[in-house]
Each structure stands twice: as structure tokens, then as C-alpha cells.
Amino acid sequence: MYDIFIAPFAEFEFMRRALVGMLALSFGAAPIGVFLMLRRMSLTGDAMAHAILPGAALGFLVAGFDLFAMTVGGVIAGFAVAISAGVVARVTQLKEDASLAAFYLVSLALGVLIVSMRGSNIDLLHVLFGSVLALDNATLVLLASFATVTLLVLALTWRPLVLECVDPGFLRSVSKTGGPAHIAFLALVVLNLVGGFHALGTLLAVGIMMLPAIAARFWATDLTRMIVLSVLFAFVSGYAGLLVSYHLAAPSGPAIILAAGSIYGVSLAFGHVGGLRRRFVPGRHLEA
């Protein structure tokens, strides 16, 4: 038992670091994922994750695998795309999802091009799929800071955020905080995707954000519980994924996301809030 579940972390420092990184990521990304899902923006997260790539790639072009350069580049590119997509949607005929799709496809191509200009294919794989087993101190501090900022900002904008999801008309009629809260929220999405990018790469970062959130939806009818569950699911995915990758010598990033995917699968089948089992084996009806 000990050998399977604890020894890898007790013996190797890089495993402990990876686990701590996943813990920080779980606290930041999973709650953001819940809000994205509830605002029907699940795919927006995906688009934004791609949008980060050219920024991070430019940072890489300038400074190589430098934490600061790639973070700043990613954050700037993420904001630029989020804001441009919003502006294009408001100023032209195009809906926001269509303009996001256009921006992220261009961004992805641009990002891959930039990385290839300087680095090898191995570098490209690093950027796209991350390197959770190679987190240094600075990166861990960065991930923890992002998680802290995320939780603080979520706490401050909680009421307007929730209200804007449930009843945007009501929020507009009582207060002007809806707009600023929405922008703060988009900023958190970008921040957490950049954080996730360092551990899991641009393509998989969205996985740890969305999969635990979507799985939590099958177990809770209450927002607070949903968020707590999503954090828990995200961390369990991180732990299980790291174990699997250690014992089977599988790549860690995909293993973590697949673990999250398994939790989603189980939730889909057995979740008591709208899961498949409830649908096909509903049980006998109640008296009232």
C-alpha cells in the first residue's frame, strides 16, 4: 500500500513538487471552471487557452524557458484576445463565440510557428503539454500566488458574479458592478490558464479547469458544494494522475487529465443530480 500510494512522493522531490503544484492549481482553476460552465462559457476557456500560446511563445523566443517572460507574454496575449473578441462582438455582426474561434485559431498557428522558429520539437511539446514534473520553486510560488489571488477576487466579486449568471437583468437594474465583475472574472480565467500552462501546457491546462467542474455538476445542486467538490476532484485527479504516470512511466500531464476524465465518466454515470443512472434506473416514485 505504502509503496504504491505514498512512496513515490516520499522518495522523490520532483513528485512532491508536482503534487504541490497540482494542489495550488486545483484551488485556483477548478472554481473558475465552475463559473465558466454555469455561464455556458465552457468552450471559451478552451479558446482562451489557445490564445495564450503566441504570447508565451514570444516570451520563449526572447528569453528561452524563462518563467517571467513566458508568464507575462501569456497574460498579455490572453487579455488581448479576450478583449478583442469582446470588442469585435459588440461592434460588428459577429457573435462572441465566432470571433473567439477566429482569434484562437490564428493564435494557435502563430504560437506554434513562433516556438518552431527558435526551439526544437521537444520545446514545442513542452509548451503544448507542459512539464508538471519539472516545477521549480519560482513556478510553485507563482502557482500559489495565482490561486490566492483567484480565491480573493472570487470572494470579492461573488455576489455580482452569481447574480449576473442567474438574473443579469436584475443585476443591471440594481447595480453597475456587473461589468467590472465580468472583466475581473475574465482576468482570472487568463491568470489560471497561464498558471495551468506552466504545469500542463496550453492544450491541457483547460482540462484541469473544466473536467472537475463539469463532474461536480452531477453531485451538487448548490453552488458552494459544487465548487468545493470541483477543487477536490481536481486535486484527486492530480494525485492519481501523478501516481499512474510514475508507476506506468506514462507522460504526467495527459495522465492527470485522463484521471480527471475518469472522474467525469463516473459522475456522468452515477451522479445523483441528472446522471445516467438516475435517468435509466430512477427507482419507484415517492408519496409527495
Partner 1 sequence: MNAAVRFKDLTLGYDRHPAVHHLNGAVADGALLALVGPNGAGKSTLLKGIVGLLPPLAGSIEHGLSRGEVAYLPQIAEIDRSFPISVYDLVAMGLWRRAGVAGRIGKNERAQIEKAIATVGLEGFEDRPIGTLSGGQMQRALFARLLLQDAKLILLDEPFASLDAGTIADLLEIIRRWHAEDRTVIAVLHDYEMVRERFPEALLLARSPVAWGPTPEVLKPENLLKARHMSEAFDNRAPVCEVHAA
Q: By CB under 8 A, name the binding residues for partner 1.
A: 38, 156-157, 159-160, 162-163, 165-170, 172-177, 220-223, 226
Find the shortest distance in angstroms from Cβ 160 to partner 1.
6
What residues contact residue 22 under an 8 Å CB cut-off, 6+ apart?
132, 199, 208, 234, 235, 237, 238, 239, 242, 256
What residues contact residue 127 under an 8 Å CB cut-off, 6+ apart?
53, 56, 57, 60, 111, 115, 201, 202
Find the shortest distance in angstroms from Cβ 221 to partner 1.
5
List phi, psi (to 5°) of 81: -70, -40
Identify whether the C-beta of residue 190 lies closer than 8 Å to the C-beta of residue 79. yes
Displacement of CA 7 from its chain's centroid (Å) = 28
User: Which C-beta is closer to partner 1: that of 121 or that of 224?
Assistant: 224
Find the shortest distance in angstroms from Cβ 179 to partner 1.
13
User: Which C-beta is closer to partner 1: that of 16 or that of 172?
Assistant: 172
User: Which C-beta is closer to partner 1: that of 43 or that of 63?
Assistant: 43
Find the shortest distance in angstroms from Cβ 286 to partner 1.
14
User: Which C-beta is closer to partner 1: that of 98 or that of 165?
Assistant: 165
- What angle do helix axes 13-38 and 42-63 make, rounded to 10 degrees? 140
